[in-house]
Structure 1
Amino acid sequence: MSRLLTVLFTLSVLTVSMQAKAIDPIRIGVLTDLSGMNADLSGKGSVEAAKMAVDDFGGKVLGRTIEVISADHQNKTDIGSAIVRKWIDQENVKAVVDVPTSSVALAVQDLTRQANIAFLISTGGSSDLTGKHCSPSTVQWTYDTYALANGTGRALTESGEKTWYFLTANYAFGSALQRDTTAAIEATGGKVLGSVRHPLGTIDFSSFLLQAQSSKAQMIALANSSGDTTAAIKQANEFGLITGGQKLASLLMFISDVDGLGLDKAQGLLLTTGFYWDMDEKTRAWSKRFAPHNDGKMPTMAQAGVYSVVLNFLKGVEASGSLEGEAVVGQMRDMKIDDMFARNAYLRVDGRLVHDMYLAQVKTPSESKGRWDYYKILRTIPGDKAFRPLAEGGCPLVDSK
């Protein structure tokens, strides 16, 4: 009799546990940089963008409440990996979002692939994420190194800037950006005269700028981002590199970087972006809703991308009736994707969202009407021209279809 009671008790505990799990909130984990060099371009703003998407969706999906949680990966692969393991194993996280710093994103992609959890990349930029390292549960939403190279690098070379020298951040993103931009330069008749690598978070660029100056290259390409980019631009101005006749090409620049630099230093720079808050009525309406959640700051393309990818993920969950990453991402490939961020967009089998990109130029102080009025959109680059052709990325999923 006691054995029967023990069995019945065990079954009742398991039943209660299963019922509790079934009604647990569905959690979306925003893994970002809350304290370092990428905090302004992603960080708190990315967390708030994800929360906005959940609220706009209605706060529930498949009958369960949706919660957004967040953590700071500190731009370190081991910390980011540990956070995601805990999220998956203990906190019922069903999607990991954002992830600036491509080396962290590549590590997280392995974990989400193994767990069949959706990985929704907005800020991680290496084109290898949808190339040789592609995953059936990953999407790369906002930009990548190929699109940046094909926008800024190609445009400048076509305009006559034929010789280049690279200052490259020494991690996965910098390497991919230099590789992809070199290909675009050479395909347009340009030549790379050399390069130098610098550590992530470099404070003093003087030795690197000296090497760039001595190269006599027309263009000094900054294959880095955020704090590294702004520090290099400031020091290049102080160093006299610009007055000496050379020019700077910032291959990845966010509107937060321009705001931090000021128009006096950033004016005239060309950049490629996936979003500009003041482009049209749709972008302005959303951005004016977003700014109060972000200390009055207008969104970067990374933060706008977080909103868009989370909203479309939730639509995919609802349509597929599933929380498994591969099933939801498969559903997203069959969906119409059109919102304030994604224009003329579709999701490919390699996980790349193909959408229009924009070649922009930073305004002069006299052209700007005030803070955040920073860009002139020079050209719309159609998605099929901006992003790498599907067959050229080396994604094994393409060969299997």
Structure 2
Amino acid sequence: MTLSRRSFSFFSALTAAQAAAPLAFAQAPKLKIGVLTDMSGALSSVLGKGSVDGARMAIEDFGSTVAGMPVELVFADHQNKPDVGAAIARRWFDEEQVDMLLDLGNSAVAIACQTIAKDKNKIIIVTGASSSDITNKFCNSHSFHWGYDTYMQSAALAGNMTKGGDNSWFFLSADYAYGQALEADARKKVLEAGGKVLGGVKHPANTMDMSSFLLQAQSSGAKVIGLATTGEDMERIVKQGQEFGIWRKQKAASFGMQLYYIPGIGPANMQGMVHNSIYYWDRDDKTRDLAQRFLKRNGKPPAETHAVNYSAVTQYLKAVKAAGTKETGAVLKALHSMPVEDLVTRNGKVRADGRLIRPTHLVEVKSPGEIKGQWDLLKVVAEIPGDQAFRPPGESVCTLLKT
């Protein structure tokens, strides 16, 4: 059989179109989100796989597509090293076409990646890192802070409690930058609220015997002992303080508590301890809905960052939908203009410095007699309005708030 010239031309064009189809499909636009987190280190229980699942659940609930684009999720371990995190961020932006980066559950990693995101004209939403400087002296136009920060963990908590009558404080703090910053912010708010600071002591990292520090706190007679520490040091302080009977007479305020810490330390050791929380799973029907679905995947309800990742990804997808494009400028405009309302966040508004302003909650560890289930560990005792929970514009050095 022979083909006419006309038939051959048609056959050639059809064959070329069929050959090009897979390439065209592969190059179809998609939206790519990257979760850069601690997958294997000290923070992996409150970040890690749960952070990835929180983001993935948001994508699934949104239908896995937005503005005609499929949504793809990638994740990596920054190992709590700024150089490792920065290298991953650059590769994702330059080679893998990641459009938005989130989590960054380490402040040094987050601050390193903020500059990269702006330089590459990409978007970064910090959900797991805690330094309030992320939207203060390190703020930039492409960066957002969606989760807890050191100001709301310490200053807002101390100010609220002081106004409520817990007006004398002693601080037991870690002797490094994190603990020092928490104590400094809390001290200031106690004094502004008319309270008194009766003293303070700093412990070195990885101190096994906390007795001398605890006895100083006990002898101060302060109504509240502010714990500006975290991890195993906090665990030792709480357990040893319980042995001395301190928490029966003096209230403990933790500036770095997480839900997952309570089973390990023991509710009996922590009963009555208070904390300012971005998210608690049993707060209302919406938070319980998310928690039950998350629990089926992970065997436990979401920690704060896990839930906040859900909120951040949901809002980012809403912004892309509203903009009708993934172009950074249009999405940034939408993120700053849209209200934030989802299963995690109520009555949220993004400020010019990228700080999500939303209510937070004063939570207290239940006594063993009040606990009705494995994760029924906290009770919400007060809501702190967003404008009181985060650093006010007048105390910020961020130039974005000055324009």
> Distance in 1 between the 2:40 and 2:175 partners?
19
Unaligned runs of 5+ in 1: 1-14
> Distance in 1 between the 2:232 and 2:146 partners?
23
Q: Contact 2:339–2:350 at 8 Å: present in 1 too?
A: no
SS in 1 for 2:133: helix
Q: Which residue of 2 aligns with 1:43?
A: 48
Q: Which residue of 2 aligns with 1:3?
A: none
Selected match of 2:209 from 187, 197, 206? 206
Same amino acid, percent of matched pairs: 35
For the pair 1:166 / 2:169, whether they are aligned, the reply is: no
Selected match of 2:77 from 58, 72, 77? 72
Moved more, 262-271 or 244-253: 244-253
Task: After TM superposition, give the deviation of residue 268 of structure 1 in Å.
Answer: 0.8
Task: After TM superposition, give the deviation of residue 46 of structure 1 in Å.
Answer: 0.8
TM-score, length basis structure 1: 0.86
SS in 1 for 2:138: coil
Q: 1:179 to 1:117 in 2, by over 3 A?
A: farther
> Distance in 1 between the 2:32 and 2:60 partners?
13
Question: Which amino acid counterpart does residue 64 of structure 2 have in structure 1?
Answer: G
SS in 1 for 2:35: strand
Q: 1:324 to 1:138 in 2, by over 3 A?
A: farther
SS in 1 for 2:332: helix
> Distance in 1 between the 2:236 and 2:87 partners?
31
1:209-268 superposed Cα distances (whole Å, 9 cap, x missing partner)? 524533644344222334443344234445x37279655321121111123222111111
Task: After TM superposition, list the pairs within 5 Å mapping 1:17-56 onto structure 2.
Answer: 22-23=27-28, 25-56=30-61
Unaligned runs of 5+ in 2: 1-19
> Distance in 1 between the 2:283 and 2:103 partners?
23
Q: Which residue of 2 aligns with 1:258?
A: 262
**Length, aligned pairs only:** 379
Moved more, 160-169 or 375-384: 160-169
> Distance in 2 between the 1:337 and 1:177 partners?
27
Task: After TM superposition, give the deviation of residue 388 of structure 1 in Å.
Answer: 2.0
For the pair 1:193 / 2:199, whether they are aligned, the reply is: yes
The CA RMSD measured in Å over matched residues stands at: 2.6
> Distance in 2 between the 1:205 and 1:20 partners?
59
1:17-58 superposed Cα distances (whole Å, 9 cap, x missing partner)? 996785264321111112222112121111001001111111
Question: Which amino acid counterpart does residue 382 of structure 2 have in structure 1?
Answer: R
Task: After TM superposition, give the deviation of residue 134 of structure 1 in Å.
Answer: 0.9
Q: Which residue of 2 aligns with 1:8?
A: none
SS in 1 for 2:42: coil
Moved more, 351-360 or 252-261: 252-261
> Distance in 1 between the 2:335 and 2:356 partners?
10
Question: Which amino acid counterpart does residue 351 of structure 1 have in structure 2?
Answer: G
TM-score, length basis structure 2: 0.86
User: Structure with the greater relative contact order (CA < 8 A, sep ≥ 6): 1 or 2?
Assistant: 1
Task: After TM superposition, give the deviation of residue 339 of structure 1 in Å.
Answer: 1.2
For the pair 1:125 / 2:130, whether they are aligned, the reply is: yes
1:149-174 superposed Cα distances (whole Å, 9 cap, x missing partner)? 24421244343351322312624x44
> Distance in 2 between the 1:184 and 1:174 partners?
16
Question: Which amino acid counterpart does residue 373 of structure 1 have in structure 2?
Answer: D
Selected match of 1:379 from 375, 379, 382? 382
Question: Which amino acid counterpart does residue 343 of structure 1 have in structure 2?
Answer: R
Q: Which residue of 1 aligns with 2:97?
A: 92
